[in-house]
Amino acid sequence: MPSLNLMVHISSNDISEIVRHCVGETPNEACGLLIGSGDTIHFVRSARSQRPSPYEFTMEPKDILTIDQEAETKGLEIVGLYHSHTMTDAYPSQTDIAACPDDRWFHFLVSLKAKPYKVRAYRIVGSSVEVVAISASDGREGSFAPLWSL
């Protein structure tokens, strides 16, 4: 049983922004950063991948720096990242686990394999993956054909 003790708070608008970015980058994986405080995400920023690929992402260091500076000027910090899987499930790959930069970060994964797109959150501590429950603050967009589901 996954532990549901961990929870992250984010607005559904921010989730939609993440998903739209991921859709826009297909067939390549998209990536970006989550800015906030503690377990609450205040806003999200897309980043470029150094070598755009359908199989992996390598976040552009210049983008990380710019986003980190923006977070700092707002009294916030980078609390996580997101990226997409265009053909597989919303679960961290072995590469994602090995490349995780910070075990306190929330790791959002968007699967574009099928509609509605799936959004899941994790924390990657060492080689173990913990499920994080997503609390979306203001409902979901589009009741008939939602872009994403949790």
- Active-site annotation holds for 29: yes
Encode 100-138: b = buried (16+ Cβ within 10 Å), e = exposed. beeeebbbbbbbbeeeebbbbbbbbeeeebbbbebebee
Of 29, 56, 130, 141, which residue is the catalytic one? 29
Site residues for Zn ion per CB under 5 A: 93, 96
- Chain CA centroid to CA 141, Å: 18
Two tokens, residue 79: 């609390």
CB 55, min distance to Zn ion, A: 8
- Which residues on neighbouring strands pair with residue 102, listed in sequence order? none
CB 45, min distance to Zn ion, A: 18
- In the complex with Zn ion, the residue whose CB is nearer, 76 or 97, is 97
- In the complex with Zn ion, the residue whose CB is nearer, 58 or 93, is 93
- In the complex with Zn ion, the residue whose CB is nearer, 12 or 93, is 93
Parallel/antiparallel/unpaired status of strands 40-47 and 77-85: unpaired
Output phi, psi for 13, to 5 deg: -65, -40
CB 100, min distance to Zn ion, A: 10
Give the separation between CA 101 and CA 82, rounded to whole angstroms.
12
- In the complex with Zn ion, the residue whose CB is nearer, 73 or 127, is 127
CB 47, min distance to Zn ion, A: 14
Active site residues: 29
